[in-house]
Amino acid sequence: MKTSFSPEQLKDTHLRESEKILRTCVHCGFCTATCPTYLLEGDELDSPRGRIYLIKDMLEGGKPATPEVVKHIDRCLSCLSCMTTCPSGVHYMHLVDHARAHIEKTYVRSAGDKFIRALLANVLPYRERFRVALAGALLAKPLRGLFGTLPVIGLRMRAMIDLAPSHFPSREAPEPAPAIAAPARGKVVILEGCAQPVLKPSINLAARRMLARHGIEVIKPRGEGCCGALVHHMGREDEALRFARANVDAWIAEMDRGLEAILITASGCGTTVKDYGFMLRDDPAYAGKARRVSEATRDITEYLLALPALSPARATGQIVAYHSACSMQHGQKITDGPKRLLRAAGFQVRDVPEGHICCGSAGVYNILQPEIAGRLGARKAANIERVRPQIIATGNIGCITQIGANTQIPILHTIELLDWAAGGPLPEPLHGMSDLLAVAMHAPSNAVQLNG
Ligand code: SF4
Ligand code: SF4
């Protein structure tokens, strides 16, 4: 794509990077076929190619964002399906991140829009605030109908209430760190994150047990917090970089003392932490450290695959639909690994039709764009139910919440199933499902070797 940035503009490193990305686009339009918003809306401006033109025009002109640009960029899920499809290697993620930051700096949103975005940015990344907010949403559930009548924020407030779990989130069980045989075979960190430990503390507990079985020590560094993805996707660049720097400081100190890897159990966070090296590239004090952190970051399934396989400790055999989160398959290009681990643990894994299409979760998208997210969530649940699974597995808390709101089939994090198969406790969503478990008791183990 031909661009016409002035030499003066290209002194700005962000514009220079975006110009490079724009020049790789050859207008072929292949990406439109796999874009969820184009699929639903059928409008070129809601396709990757259309958005690329809008971004180009906005950045080249050095103009403030217009309502039309904001409308179509806000509708983008940042699912990155277009990056998987693009034959020219257009780095849409960095381009849309730049566009969102430009919008945040130059566009004046309505009071309602500002309020809801400030609320999300000041609550979600902070565990204790989020816990209180969830309790408030639970209390507001009987009044949800009233919220729909409020202008601008009503539907979004209702989406927040609908996504809140139906019981008060309990604090992480004070489970002692699982014992490992000394000496430890490795030392890692599991990113605790912000929303996940409040919504489902069982995920990281399962990860710790799995790692302990492999003799891997898990440490908890001081100063670690939210990865910054939630505010990053809202264009709040300074806040995202503040979170990134705090995490880099916390982890780099441990890396200098032998920390081998930073493990992530929410693929949305994984995509962002793996991008810290790029996000902090212009900060001389952090560029090198952030690159080291990104290089040492692994999804929990990537890390487990590199370890010797464990034999399943119990018969499993349930039919599991594996939903690959967009941040897993498009953001991190992790596709087969989680399914290989599940099969090795004895589960019968089924792929989901339209597996490349987003479920509508996408960070805070299901709150900010509830109408499109609702349609995508229902479409995803219908596609999953088509393969008649007994359990759904995925690797991202956002997808667990979004898909869980659209189906009665129990949905679990992949690591919870792996941990259960390896001898861990029965995951809470499977409690009372004796039929499903009885099938497993009689099912022949179909465990396979990971390298088979
Ligand atoms: S990131 Fe997803 S929603 Fe956005 S343009 Fe690409 S495919 Fe479409
Ligand atoms: S597939 Fe890639 S090169 Fe083709 S229009 Fe989309 S972004 Fe541009």
Q: What is the pLDDT of residues 37-58, one digit of tens each?
A: 999 999 999 999 999 999 999 9
pLDDT tens, position by position, 388-415: 999 999 999 999 999 999 999 999 999 9
Is 342 in contact with 54 (CB distance < 8 Å)?
Answer: no
Same domain, residue pair 240 and 143: no
pLDDT score, position 452 = 33
From residue 187, how far is each of 159, 221, 401 by CA, in Å? 40, 12, 31
CATH label of the domain that carries residue 190: 3.40.50
Kindly indicate the confidence band of residue 449, based on its pLDDT and cuts at 50, 70 and 90.
Answer: very low
Rounded distance from Cα 170 to ligand 1 centre (Å):
35
Reply yes or no on whether the pLDDT at 175 is more than 70. Answer: no
Is 346 in contact with 446 (CB distance < 8 Å)?
Answer: yes
SS3 of residue 256 by DSSP = coil
Same domain, residue pair 101 and 131: no
Its domain, for residue 43, covers: 9-106
Is 31 in contact with 47 (CB distance < 8 Å)?
Answer: yes
Dist CA 296 CA 99 (whole Å): 28
Is 391 in contact with 409 (CB distance < 8 Å)?
Answer: yes
Mean pLDDT, to the nearest integer, of 363-368? 94
Kindly report which listed range (93-97, 194-198, 291-295, 432-436) carries the lowest average pLDDT score.
432-436
Same domain, residue pair 337 and 300: no
Nearest-CA residue for atom 2 of ligand 2: 86
Largest CA distance in the chain: 71
Choice from 40, 44, 69, 82 to test ligand 1 binding pocket (greatest atom count within 8 A of CB): 82
Kindly indicate the confidence band of residue 370, based on its pLDDT and cuts at 50, 70 and 90.
Answer: very high
Kindly indicate the confidence band of residue 444, based on its pLDDT and cuts at 50, 70 and 90.
Answer: very low
Q: How far is CA 220 from the centre of its chain?
A: 21
Q: How many CB atoms lie within 10 A of CB 408?
A: 8
SS3 of residue 98 by DSSP = helix
Ligand nearest to the Cα of 91, by number = 2
Mean pLDDT, to the nearest integer, of 146-171? 72
Beta carbon of 76 within 6 Å of any ligand 1 atom: yes
Reply yes or no on whether the pLDDT at 442 is more than 90. Answer: no
- Residue-averaged pLDDT of the chain: 92
- Output the six-digit token pair for 68: 């039309």
- Residue 427 placed within a domain: yes
Is 302 in contact with 333 (CB distance < 8 Å)?
Answer: no
Kindly indicate the confidence band of residue 320, based on its pLDDT and cuts at 50, 70 and 90.
Answer: very high
Rounded distance from Cα 19 to ligand 2 centre (Å):
15
- What one-character-per-residue DSSP string does 259-286 give? --EEEESSHHHHHHHTTHHHHTTT-TTT
Amino acid sitting at position 449? Q
Is 304 in contact with 418 (CB distance < 8 Å)?
Answer: yes
Dist CA 152 CA 150 (whole Å): 7
Q: Indicate the DSSP class of residue 327.
A: I
Choice from 78, 88, 233 to test ligand 1 binding pocket (greatest atom count within 8 A of CB): 78
pLDDT score, position 163 = 77
Which of 267, 286, 304 lies at the terminal end of a domain, its last residue? 304
- Residue 168 placed within a domain: no
Same domain, residue pair 215 and 286: yes
pLDDT score, position 170 = 64
Q: What percent of the chain has pLDDT over 70?
A: 92
Kindly indicate the confidence band of residue 298, based on its pLDDT and cuts at 50, 70 and 90.
Answer: very high
pLDDT score, position 447 = 45
pLDDT score, position 440 = 55
> How many structural domains compose the chain?
4
Same domain, residue pair 35 and 94: yes
- Residue 94 placed within a domain: yes
Dist CA 207 CA 366 (whole Å): 27
